[in-house]
Amino acid sequence: MHITHKASRLLLRRKTWFIGIFQATLVSCSLIVAWLLRFDFSLPYRRILVLGLPVLLLARIATMACFGLFRGWWRYVGVRDGLDVLKAVGAGSLLFWIAMRFAFKAIGFPRSIYLLEALLTAGLLVGVRLLSRALAESVQEDLSSNKRVILIGAGAAAQTILREIRRPSSGYVALGCLDDDRSKVGIRIHDVPVLGTVDNLPSLVTSQSADEVLIAVPSATGAQMSKFVSICNEAKVKFRTVPALKDIIAGQVTVSQLREVSLEDLLGRERVQIDLASVRRQIADRTALVTGAAGSIGSELCRQILHYGPARLICLDQSETGLFFLRLGLDGRSNGAEVTYRVGDICDSERLRSLLLEFRPEIIFHAAAYKHVPMMELNAHEAVKNNVLALVSVLSLAEEASCKSFVLISSDKAVNPTNIMGATKRIGELIISSRPTTGMRCVSVRFGNVLGSSGSVIPVLKEQLRNHHTLTITHPDIKRFFMVTAEAVELVLQAFAIGDHGDILVLDMGEPVRILDLARSLIRLSGKSEQDVEIRFTGLREGEKLKEELFYEHEKVLPTSCEKVKRTNGSLRDWSELCHQLEELRASMSVDGAEPVRAKIKEIVSEYTFQEVPATKRAGEVPAEVRMKKAAGHD
């Protein structure tokens, strides 16, 4: 590495010397030709000529160096380089004139030579550059095979991309940039013109025969990105984007980072500012355990927790394959922590006790749960067992193992639940708020859907789109809150850091998004038009709501130190009464059928509403796949 660096420096120095000597020769030639022109093609007063030449060369070399004319790379010469030549020649002539007039006034240098030589030198310096560029282009690789691209954006990212595109064998030819800042229209960036605003794209794609559009706006908001995608679709041109600002490593954009536009880009919102120090303070050098570590939320929690330097991280999940992939993903990212993977079921209290006593975690993030609404409607007992009874047991075992903080991952489906899954999450929140503690701080964090989580609407729609199937949505007006997983988990960590015992911390999810609009965005991102893809509405599934809510009407919404995290704690119940109800709920599970369980849940969560399920549709009597029908709805 060191040798290569040294060798390239040596080469560069040689190249600079060569360029310097070559240009000095051109200046000398200019002076002689000027002399010949001035004196009818003869060379009189040779002594003056010979004395003047070194002074001229010194003046020219000094000013050419000042204006960077020894740099080379003439194959990329542009208007700016031409201007630099003119400035250097002007300044050099002035210096030469001053020197001859005041320092060597005895010599009596012919006045017209100043002008003639300057014109010839400028002409030669510009000429060789243009010639060099023309030659380079004629012997360069066949540009016709390069992709003809238009850039959206004329800022710093576009400049970097253009600089890379100019490199030989980049495979691209930049036709121009577009920018909605009208003051930039007409200027040139690295000799590439800013052709107009983004609205001009469709006509420019046709007139310039562009093959692709590169979106070079890393700071684009979701709305801006949606506009770019619409316009590219209208122009029927392929498009790619540079990564979002937050994903750019080391502040540099490169052509190799260009990627397809994703739904996250369209939903992208401003970067959340979280108080890193407070999160780090609570995690660094501690032992943390994540249940459901292999799941969508759990795995992102593991990734982000490692970032804050825990002493140890225990990843617990009942899915062996899930843990296998989690381990692959976390490989090399431990950040000095000892990462342990354990297969285990949270319903197995003996296994859990031995794990907790072995590792004695100081923090537990509880993300293990069943979450699919229609599936849990068919398996009410399992939902209660996993999401409620196991939680009660995890909490007491955690306290027994001297755990200091416990975070329950809740869901917006816990608010006014219309299904078993949501109702069990609500009972979880009630347990966390009401359970007396002997030193373990317990909080729930409630939020809506995260984009692309396992089995959720986006992956289902994407798969249907990929397989050219009809897109199925349960209802044209169904809306859900959406957040990018990484952002939701950042806020979960922030909520963990600031929550007080019993708090329900609710993440600000922005405005709910219509699933139909998401499907349309996915169609556009795939490069198809809505006419090419059929969308079918399959009807709301059991327990599915048109809209989710983030708060109960009776809940007081309180601010926290983080703008995007709200606090509510109006859910306190009498703990012994709640325990009694939970015992009754457990007992109801020994009776066949879901109705007794639903009735008991209703006693605990009075806001829970449900429709009586016809006998033919009860658990075990109807194959799940018939009822699921892969309709993309809520989760």
The only residue of 317, 362, 490, 555 in contact with ligand NAD, by rule CB under 6 A: 317
Task: Give yes or no for residue 419 binding ligand NAD (CB under 6 A).
Answer: no
The only residue of 69, 118, 283, 369 in contact with ligand NAD, by rule CB under 6 A: 369
Token pair 């329900």 is at which residue? 504
Task: Give yes or no for residue 313 binding ligand NAD (CB under 6 A).
Answer: no
The amino acid that residue 438 corresponds to is T
Task: Give yes or no for residue 386 binding ligand NAD (CB under 6 A).
Answer: yes
Q: Helix, strand, or coil here: 326?
A: helix
The only residue of 322, 499, 512, 633 in contact with ligand NAD, by rule CB under 6 A: 322
CB of 554 to ligand NAD, least distance (A): 22
Asked whether 423 and 381 are in contact (CB, 8 A), the reply is no
Task: Give yes or no for residue 453 binding ligand NAD (CB under 6 A).
Answer: yes
Q: Residues 6 or more apart from 329 whose CB is under 8 A from it?
A: 299, 303
Task: Give yes or no for residue 454 binding ligand NAD (CB under 6 A).
Answer: yes
The only residue of 164, 180, 191, 345 in contact with ligand NAD, by rule CB under 6 A: 345
List the Cα angle 209/210/214 in 5-degree steps. 170
Task: Give yes or no for residue 218 binding ligand NAD (CB under 6 A).
Answer: no
The amino acid that residue 210 corresponds to is A
Report residue 66 CA to chain centroid gap.
42
Size of the site for ligand NAD (CB under 6 A): 28
In angstroms, what CA-CA distances link 163 with 146, 166, 167, 363, 618?
16, 5, 7, 48, 64
Query: Of the two residues 49 and 478, which places its CB atom closer to ligand NAD in the complex?
Result: 478
The only residue of 254, 278, 319, 340 in contact with ligand NAD, by rule CB under 6 A: 319
Report residue 300 CA to chain centroid gap.
15
Task: Give yes or no for residue 368 binding ligand NAD (CB under 6 A).
Answer: yes
- The sign of the torsion formed by the CA atoms of 240, 241, 242, 243 equals negative
CB of 303 to ligand NAD, least distance (A): 13
Part of the chain binding ligand NAD (CB under 6 A), chosen from 209-217, 269-277, 451-459, 594-602: 451-459
Instruction: Give the strand pairing for 558-559 and 504-507.
Output: unpaired
Task: Give yes or no for residue 447 binding ligand NAD (CB under 6 A).
Answer: yes
Q: Which of 433, 341, 334, 349 is nearest to 385 (CA)?
A: 349
Q: How far is the C-alpha of 323 from the C-alpha of 400, rounded, in Å?
A: 26
How many other C-beta atoms lie within 10 A of the C-beta of residue 540? Answer: 17
DSSP string, 246-308: GG-GGG---GGG-B---HHHHH--PPP---HHHHHHHHTTSEEEEETTTSHHHHHHHHHHHHT
Part of the chain binding ligand NAD (CB under 6 A), chosen from 17-25, 238-246, 447-455, 511-519: 447-455
Task: Give yes or no for residue 550 binding ligand NAD (CB under 6 A).
Answer: no
The only residue of 30, 296, 405, 588 in contact with ligand NAD, by rule CB under 6 A: 296
Part of the chain binding ligand NAD (CB under 6 A), chosen from 66-74, 368-376, 523-531, 567-575: 368-376
Task: Give yes or no for residue 295 binding ligand NAD (CB under 6 A).
Answer: yes
Query: Nearest-CB residue to ligand NAD?
Result: 295
Query: Of the two residues 23 and 296, which places its CB atom closer to ligand NAD in the complex?
Result: 296
Task: Give yes or no for residue 294 binding ligand NAD (CB under 6 A).
Answer: yes
Part of the chain binding ligand NAD (CB under 6 A), chosen from 158-166, 314-322, 463-471, 530-538: 314-322
Asked whether 237 and 205 are in contact (CB, 8 A), the reply is yes
CB of 294 to ligand NAD, least distance (A): 4
Enumerate binding residues for ligand NAD (CB under 6 A).
Answer: 292, 294-298, 317-319, 322, 345-347, 367-369, 371, 386, 390, 409, 411, 425, 447, 449-450, 453-454, 456
